[in-house]
Amino acid sequence: MSSQATSTGGAAPEAAPVALAVTGISKSFAGVHAIRNLSFVARKGEATALIGPNGAGKTTVFNLVSGVYGVDAGAVTVNGVDVTHMPSRRRIGCGIARSFQNVRLMDHLSVLENLLVGQHIRAASLTDLLTPYRLFPNHRWRQEARQALADNGLERYANETVSGLPYGVRKRVDLVRATLAGASILLLDEPAAGLNPSETNDLRDHLNLLVAQGLTLVIVEHDMHFIDSICSNVVVLNFGEKIAEGPLSVVRQDPEVRRAYIGDGEN
């Protein structure tokens, strides 16, 4: 079980296999370093938090891992496959899917149709492409999507057009869509932002369930209580660099972390 394949120190005591490894990645935009020589791993069946002040580079990490941008240096490995130079479109096939901080659903489609798009990687055959699923209300892909909505208490929105829905609902649909790719690693960018306390509780239970099922989560979140109840490992970014890593209770005592958060009102 001991996989010491990565260079990051201070891993969990009984280390599970590495699902996602980010090794020495850097990225700058027009000469400004957004990410600088960042390394961390997310282990299988665990939730890893990526935290840091606004503009620290958290979303950029997700963009680099999912391939929206290419890295300037370093490597990204997903389930043992080096995806550093793989086109973004093919990375989901390696078992990694993501949600978006600023909800990116297809506005003119219904909730159910958005989820069907999320299933694409598992429904990519020519038969799937040309089956008139809309003529069959109980077609298996629709059933599956409806079930996923029911699991999240969202079934009543199935046929609503996305653009008319409240932010909290769209945020949760964005997450459900990410889960429907059948990926083993999920990158979730502020999944609890804009949710009310009861919705946040439901989300926490749902994410813990996913972890219990063996999924690997990487969660960007500002709500420390939320992180505390899900994530076993926390990576702290500041100005694109990792300044601390470990369990939340340890990390939040770190003087550099406290300094980074001064005035941020979070710690």
Partner 1 sequence: MSGYLTGVLVVLAFNVIAAYAVYLPMAAGQLNLGIAGFMAIGAYGAAFLTNEYGWSMLAAVPVASAAAGLVGLVIGFPVLRTHGIYLALATFALGQVIAAVFLNLEVVGGAAGYTLSAYAGPYVVFAAAIGVVLVMLYLSRTRFALYLTAVKSDPTVADLMGISVRGVQVAAFALGAMVAGFGGAFYALHYNFVEAQHFNVLLSVFTVLYVLFGGAQTVWGPLAGAMFFTLAPEALRFGEQWRYAIFALFIILFMAIRPQGLITTSLFQGFRRRSNEASP
Ligand X SMILES: Nc1ncnc2c1ncn2[C@@H]1O[C@H](COP(=O)(O)OP(=O)(O)OP(=O)(O)O)[C@@H](O)[C@H]1O
Pairing of strands 73-78, 241-246: unpaired
Q: Does 88 bind partner 1 (CB under 8 A)?
A: yes
Name the nearest CA neighbour of 116 among 43, 184, 181. Answer: 181
42 phi, psi to nearest 5 deg: -115, 130
Cβ 74 to partner 1 shortest distance, Å: 20
**Cα(129)–Cα(176) distance, rounded to whole angstroms?**
21
Name the nearest CA neighbour of 180 among 143, 153, 211, 208. Answer: 143
**Cα(99)–Cα(175) distance, rounded to whole angstroms?**
6
Pick the closer one to ligand X by CB: 11 or 38. 38
Please tell me the count of residues contacting partner 1 according to CB under 8 A.
38
Residue 134: name its binding partner from ligand X, Mg ion, partner 1, none (Cβ under 5 to 8 Å by kind): partner 1
Pick the closer one to Mg ion by CB: 54 or 127. 54
**Cα(214)–Cα(265) distance, rounded to whole angstroms?**
34
Q: Which 68-127 residues touch ligand X, going by CB under 6 A? A: 101
Q: Does 167 bind ligand X (CB under 6 A)?
A: no
Of the candidate spans 58-66, 158-166, 197-205, 244-252, the one that interacts with ligand X by CB under 6 A turns out to be 58-66
The binding track of 8-47 with respect to ligand X, each residue x by CB under 6 A or -, is ---------------------x----x-------------
Could you say which of 55, 80, 153, 182 contacts ligand X (CB under 6 A)? 55
CB atoms within 10 A of CB 213: 9
Q: Does 56 bind ligand X (CB under 6 A)?
A: yes
Could you say which of 59, 79, 179, 184 contacts ligand X (CB under 6 A)? 59
**Cα(41)–Cα(224) distance, rounded to whole angstroms?**
20
Q: Does 169 bind ligand X (CB under 6 A)?
A: no
Pick the closer one to ligand X by CB: 37 or 161. 37
Q: Does 67 bind ligand X (CB under 6 A)?
A: no
What torsion do the CA atoms of 184, 232, 115, 129 make, to the nearest 10 degrees?
A: -10
Confirm if 111 and 142 have CB atoms less than 8 A apart: no
Strand partners, 241: 238
Cβ 84 to partner 1 shortest distance, Å: 16
Token pair for 214: 């063996």
Q: Does 98 bind partner 1 (CB under 8 A)?
A: yes
| Interface ranges with ligand X (CB under 6 A) | 29, 34, 52, 54-60, 101
